[in-house]
Each structure stands twice: as C-alpha cells, then as structure tokens.
C-alpha cells in the first residue's frame, strides 16, 4: 500500500510539474512559481496523509512520542526566498525535481546566450559548397573592388579581389595551409561587424584599428568602455550601430544569472558554463578576451600575441583545393588565405550571368575616372557566362557578411577589401601620421633650428678647450678632424670636448638626394646622432626623432612651403647602413615613404599641389627660436 502511494505521488509530481512547465513556457519566473506551488501542494498532501485520524484521547506526551520533531530537516527546494521541507515520502523525488529544475535553468541560459553572444564562434550556417564551378575552368584577373562606384555592375567572369583577413575567433590556432568553408556571420552584433568591414573597405581606416574594434565587438565590450580610437572609428564608420553596442556582454550575462539566482539556489555561473559544452567554453573565452582587451589598453600587438596562436596546418592538397561556396545563384566565393588571419590574401569570385547570351555589352565600371579605360580593358569578356546583374556594392556586401570556417581547428576569418597599391601606400602613410599625431610630444625634445646658415654651421662643429681655454670653431674643427681620422699631431696639454655637435650639415652627395624633396632649399642640416631622441609610442613601436632644417641661398631658415625642413620621426642619422636598419625601424618607413605617398613627388610639379600641406600637419617644420618675422614671410614665397 505504501509503495502504491509513493508511485501515485511521483506520477502526480511529474504531471503537475509538466502542466506548469507547458502552461507557462516562456515565462521563466512563473514556471518556477508553478513548480514551487506543485511541491508545496505535495508537501501539504504528505502532511495530511501522515497525520491520519486517531480515535480516543492522546496526551501531549503521547503525541510527541508518536510524532517526534525532526532536527535540521533537509530542504527539497527554495524559491523566491521560501523553502519547502522534504516530506519523507517525497525523498525519492528530490533529486529528479532538482535535475529537472537545473535543466530548465540551463535551457534558459542557453536561450539567452544564443540571443546575446555578439559573434558566434564557428556556429554559423554554412553556404552550399562545390569543388566544380559551373561555367568551366577558373581564370581570374585582379579587381580592386573598392575602386568602383557602388551601383556599377560587374561583368560576369572570374576575379581575384585583394583583401585583408581578420581574426574572428579568439584564442585559436592561426597559420598557413588551412582551407575555409564560407558561412554567413551570425550573432547579435553580426550586422554591426559586417557593416564595419564593408565601410572600412571604402575608407582609409587603419587595418590594425579595425581589427582591435572587431575584437572588441566580438568580445562584447560596450561602447563606453572602448578606447578613444575605437570610439572614433565607431562614430566614423558605424554610428548607426552605436546604440546597439551599449552594455557589455559579460555584464548582461552576469545580471541575467543574478536574476535567476534570486529565484532558486543555483551552482555558480562558472560551474554552469562548464556544463554547457562548447557553448560554455566559448562564452568563457569571450569573458577572458574582454578582460584582456581592457587590461592591455586595446594594444594591437599585445592582443595579436594573446589571441592568435601561430601554427601552420598545411593540409594535404593545399589551399588550392579550397571548395567554392555558393552565395547565391550568381556569385561563388572562396577565401584564399595562405597565411591565415592578420595577413593579406585574396577572395576568388566567379560571377555568373542571369542567363546564357550570345552578345555581351561591356560595362563602363569607372565612368568619369581617368583610369577607367585601362581597368575596363583588363576585365574578362566571358560571353559564355551571360550578362551579370551583380553590383560592386552587392559583391562587397557578400564578402563583408561572410566568415571563413577552418577545415581544421583554427582561426575563423573575415575580410575587408584592400585598395590598389598606390592607394594602399597613401593609406599606410595616413596610418603612420595618425600614430604620430596622437602623441605630438615626440617633437618637443628636438633642438630648434638656428635662424641662419652661419649659426647652424657653428652648431655643427664640436667645441674643445685646451688647458682650460675654449678654442675657436675653426680650431676645434681641425682637432676634431684629427681625432676622427686619427691623422696629424694633437696639441700638447689637457684637451676636453666642451660641446659635441648639435647638427650635421649634408654633404654635396647627400644634397643630390635631399634637395628634390625641398625645392628652394640650398643647404640641409639634421640633428647629430648624439642629439637624436628615443620615444615609445602607445602602439609599442619605438621612434628616434631628429630635427631637420633647410636654408635658402641667402642663408635664411625656410619655415614654410614645400622647401621647408621637416622633423624626422626616425632620424636618418641613426638608420644608416650597419647601424641597425630594419624595414620598420628606419627613416624610409617613418618619413620618406609617407612623404612620397602624400605628395606623389614622382610626378612633375608635385610642389604645386596640396600634398605637402597634408604632410606638414604631422611633420611640422620648425620655425626656429625667435627668428625674425621677415624671414618667414620670404620663406612663404618659396
């Protein structure tokens, strides 16, 4: 009879719980309230059954003997601050009920995370793939997609579009030799990230800044917590998504979990995430990434070292066997990333026509563009593929919304389209200028330019004293020459270097290279190596600033115009041969290349254009220390 009653209660518990569960689906608090009421009801029934009517008179002592008090009773469940004791007959049901409630909690958390994870790890819906393209063998030509107007139609055919690939899953392996199947980006902020990539492709936004903002979006960093440069990029490129970036993913998750914890006693959030498999592991990696981003102050190099684990894959068959993804009826894409994320590569594209046609009208892709004829002539004229209706904007959107899922464990990839080489140089120049403009104090340590050629030459000679008496500049120069060349006989007595050279005057050979960069100048002086500074930028890069001063034929300091001297972010005096020259640690990288890109000085008459003015906004000519105003007026006419 007793077992029969227990079974009846078990069935009743399940039926009541399922009733409330199904009735109140989607109303989480009410579902728990329903469960709580069910448990309470069963507890009352248990109390009623366990206190059957007793005939006759029972004293207080007899009653306590028959029904002793339970010390420290176990608890079945607590909800909303109320707890129900476990009746003895319901003890076998305690664990199943707890498990059921915990499963409800996990399902609620899974549902919340599915809606709130900013960018899914690799849980994206893959596009259909094929190893054989419709329309025959793939024969591509390079197309710089961001050189086209958004509405211009791209002829059907095969293209290779230069791109830069971004890391889109933190703490994963990255290297060469992997293959990628394409999917559409997924997650609460996938539209914001796609818009960032698409708009960055047609702007001069620095690649490293785009990657840092991408990591911040992926990890759910709120707009308020972004770095100033990331906020600037949001305001510039995706201001319409600014409100969507409010509130961090980790704060929302913790708040949601705390709300659940008020309803019932729960294990820790960390423990519950551990029980959610891959989803929980991925969420914990986003929490860690968010802390890493803020801790490193949004530093690209530090984050790249933390988030990207170098390791080549080198799958059999190589990247050439990457399958094609069918984006729609007209567009097939594949990511060719020979070095993985944080590197350049190409997106290969086949565009099919809407139908087969015997005639193909070539489309002017760059109307009103001086280079249009050259580009048009380079595009394929594949009549067999039919007429296309794919615009440049649509294709760019296809690329920006796609994510490459690695065939073997590794980085997920997203991409922005890169500009043509000449535009790429200008983009890189402006990125260098942006870094230097952010920290203008690098110029404050430099010696001011002397006002006259005569003064500059005095400061370009060392000064010695002999037996306590200061020697003249000419005497000092002779002694210095003997010391440097180890020739001749030095005067007897105590010889002391009072002041080393402040500036170095360029030789005739050096002037043959320098004067074309400074039209109107006749003399050039630079900081002596002993006066070159050392400055560490926020990016972690080190520059070694030095001054440059130019003088006209009358010996006057040129302070304005294309002929003016400009300070060196990285002095040529410390980057000569055998002095530690490296590609990014050189005068060429920090000064010459940006000047070439901004002024386009390879073209005749560059000094008549505005490029040097852009350069001078960052590399601003020094106007000397109290030099007479008329000299500056004269220099403005150069």
- In this prediction, residue 94 has a pLDDT band, given cuts at 50, 70 and 90, of low
pLDDT, one tens digit per residue, over 119-164 is 987 667 899 999 899 988 999 899 999 889 999 999 999 999 999 9
Say if CB 365 and CB 390 are below 8 A apart: no
Q: What mean pLDDT do residues 262-282 have?
A: 84
Residues 6 or more apart from 524 whose CB is under 8 A from it?
505, 506, 510, 511, 514, 515, 518, 548, 549, 550, 551, 565
Q: What are phi and psi of 26, to 5 degrees?
A: 90, -15
The alpha-carbon radius of gyration of the chain (Å, integer) is: 37
Say if CB 547 and CB 564 are below 8 A apart: no
| The pLDDT of residue 631 is above 70 | no
The three-class DSSP label of residue 359 is coil
- Sign of the torsion angle spanned by Cα atoms 48, 52, 54, 60: negative
Say if CB 544 and CB 533 are below 8 A apart: yes
β-strands 469-470, 463-466 pairing: antiparallel
Residue 456 CA: distances (Å) to CA of 363, 508, 591, 625 = 61, 17, 23, 12
Tell me what pLDDT residue 442 has. Answer: 94
- Sign of the torsion angle spanned by Cα atoms 90, 93, 95, 100: negative
Say if CB 94 and CB 11 are below 8 A apart: no
Tell me what pLDDT residue 50 has. Answer: 44
Q: What mean pLDDT do residues 356-374 have?
A: 34
Output the 3-class SS for 349-393. EEECCCCCCCCCCCCCCCCCCCCHHHHHHHCCCCHHHCCCCCEHH
The three-class DSSP label of residue 74 is coil
Token duo for residue 419:
């500009």
Q: What mean pLDDT do residues 387-394 have?
A: 87
Helices (H) and strands (E) counted in the chain, each on its own, are 21, 21
In this predicted structure, which of 52-61, 198-207, 432-441 has the lowest mean pLDDT?
52-61
Distance between CA atoms of residues 43 and 37, nearest Å? 10
- In this prediction, residue 638 has a pLDDT band, given cuts at 50, 70 and 90, of very low
Say if CB 145 and CB 197 are below 8 A apart: no
In angstroms, the first-to-last Cα distance of the chain is 112
Average confidence score pLDDT of the chain: 80
Say if CB 8 and CB 93 are below 8 A apart: no
- If residue 335 lies in a helix (H) or strand (E), which one and from where to where? strand 331-336
Say if CB 330 and CB 391 are below 8 A apart: no
Token duo for residue 414:
């997203």
pLDDT, one tens digit per residue, over 510-550 is 999 999 999 999 999 999 998 999 999 887 889 999 999 99
- Sign of the torsion angle spanned by Cα atoms 325, 183, 198, 436: negative
Tell me what pLDDT residue 285 has. Answer: 94
Distance between CA atoms of residues 117 and 115, nearest Å? 6
Tell me what pLDDT residue 95 has. Answer: 57
Give me the helix-helix angle, 207-218 and 190-200, nearest 10°: 180
DSSP character for 408? S
* Burial class for 193, CB neighbours closer than 10 Å (0-12, 13-18, 19+): buried
Tell me what pLDDT residue 602 has. Answer: 66
- If residue 269 lies in a helix (H) or strand (E), which one and from where to where? helix 269-274
- In this prediction, residue 6 has a pLDDT band, given cuts at 50, 70 and 90, of very low
The three-class DSSP label of residue 208 is helix
Distance between CA atoms of residues 82 and 285, nearest Å? 36
Residues 6 or more apart from 469 whose CB is under 8 A from it?
none
Distance between CA atoms of residues 174 and 340, nearest Å? 6
Pick from 591, 521, 574, 578: nearest CA to 552 = 521
Residues 6 or more apart from 138 whose CB is under 8 A from it?
158, 348, 350
Tell me what pLDDT residue 330 has. Answer: 95
Say if CB 79 and CB 263 are below 8 A apart: yes
β-strands 141-142, 129-130 pairing: unpaired
Tell me what pLDDT residue 366 has. Answer: 33
Tell me what pLDDT residue 75 has. Answer: 45
> What count of other Cβ atoms lies within 10 Å of the Cβ of residue 379?
16
């Amino acid at each position: 009879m007793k077992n029969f009653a227990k079974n009846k209660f078990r069935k009743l518990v399940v039926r009541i719980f399922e009733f409330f569960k199904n009735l109140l689906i989607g109303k989480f608090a009410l579902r728990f309230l329903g469960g709580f009421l069910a448990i309470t009801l069963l507890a009352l029934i248990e109390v009623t059954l366990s206190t059957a009517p007793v005939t006759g008179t029972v004293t207080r002592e007899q009653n306590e003997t028959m029904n002793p008090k339970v010390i420290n009773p176990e608890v079945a469940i607590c909800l909303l601050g109320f707890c129900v004791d476990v009746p003895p007959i319901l003890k076998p049901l305690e664990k199943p009920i707890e498990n059921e409630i915990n499963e409800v909690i996990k399902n609620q958390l899974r549902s919340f995370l599915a809606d709130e994870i900013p960018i899914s790890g690799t849980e994206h819906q893959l596009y259909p793939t094929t190893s054989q393209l419709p329309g025959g063998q793939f024969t591509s030509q390079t197309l710089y997609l961001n050189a086209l107007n958004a509405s211009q139609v791209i002829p059907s055919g095969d293209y290779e579009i230069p791109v830069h690939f971004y890391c889109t899953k933190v703490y994963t392996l990255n290297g060469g030799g992997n293959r990628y199947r394409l999917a559409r980006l997924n997650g609460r902020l996938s539209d914001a990230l796609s818009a960032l990539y698409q708009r960055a492709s047609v702007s001069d936004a620095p690649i490293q800044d785009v990657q840092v903002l991408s990591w911040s979006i992926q990890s759910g960093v709120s707009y308020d917590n972004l770095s100033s440069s990331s906020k600037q990029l949001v305001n510039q490129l995706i201001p319409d998504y600014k409100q969507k970036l409010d509130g961090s993913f980790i704060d929302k998750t913790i708040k949601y979990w705390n709300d659940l914890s008020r309803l019932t006693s729960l294990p820790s959030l960390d423990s519950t995430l551990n029980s959610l498999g891959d989803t929980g592991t991925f969420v914990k990696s986003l929490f860690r990434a968010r802390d890493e981003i803020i801790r490193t102050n949004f530093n690209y190099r530090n984050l790249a070292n933390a988030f990207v684990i170098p390791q080549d894959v080198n799958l059999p068959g190589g990247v050439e066997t990457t399958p094609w993804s069918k984006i729609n009826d007209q567009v097939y894409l594949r990511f060719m990333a020979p070095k993985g994320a944080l590197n350049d590569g190409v997106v290969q594209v086949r565009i099919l026509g809407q139908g087969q046609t015997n005639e193909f009208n070539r489309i002017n892709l760059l109307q009103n563009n001086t280079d249009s004829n050259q580009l048009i002539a380079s595009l394929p004229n594949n009549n067999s593929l039919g007429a296309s209706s794919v615009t440049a904007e649509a294709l760019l959107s296809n690329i920006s919304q796609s994510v490459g899922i690695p065939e073997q464990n590794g980085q997920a990839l997203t991409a922005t389209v890169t500009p043509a080489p000449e535009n790429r140089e200008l983009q890189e120049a402006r990125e260098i200028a942006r870094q230097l403009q952010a920290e203008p104090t690098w110029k404050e340590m430099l010696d001011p330019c002397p006002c006259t050629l005569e003064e500059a030459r005095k400061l370009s000679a060392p000064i010695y004293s002999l037996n306590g008496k200061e020697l003249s500049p000419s005497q000092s120069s002779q002694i210095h020459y003997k010391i440097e060349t180890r020739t001749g006989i030095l005067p007897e007595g105590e010889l002391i270097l009072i002041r080393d050279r402040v500036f170095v005057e360029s030789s005739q050979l050096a002037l043959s290279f320098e004067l074309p960069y400074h039209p109107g100048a006749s003399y050039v002086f630079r900081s002596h190596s002993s006066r070159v500074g050392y400055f560490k930028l926020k990016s972690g890069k080190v520059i070694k600033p030095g001054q440059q001063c130019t003088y006209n034929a009358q010996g006057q300091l040129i302070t304005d115009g294309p002929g003016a001297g400009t300070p060196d972010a990285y002095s040529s005096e410390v980057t000569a041969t055998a002095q530690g020259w490296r590609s990014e640690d050189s005068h060429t990288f920090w000064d010459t290349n940006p000047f070439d890109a901004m002024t386009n000085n390879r073209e005749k008459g560059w000094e008549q254009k505005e490029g040097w003015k852009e350069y001078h906004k960052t590399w601003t000519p020094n106007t000397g220390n109290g030099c007479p105003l008329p000299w500056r007026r004269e220099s403005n006419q150069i």
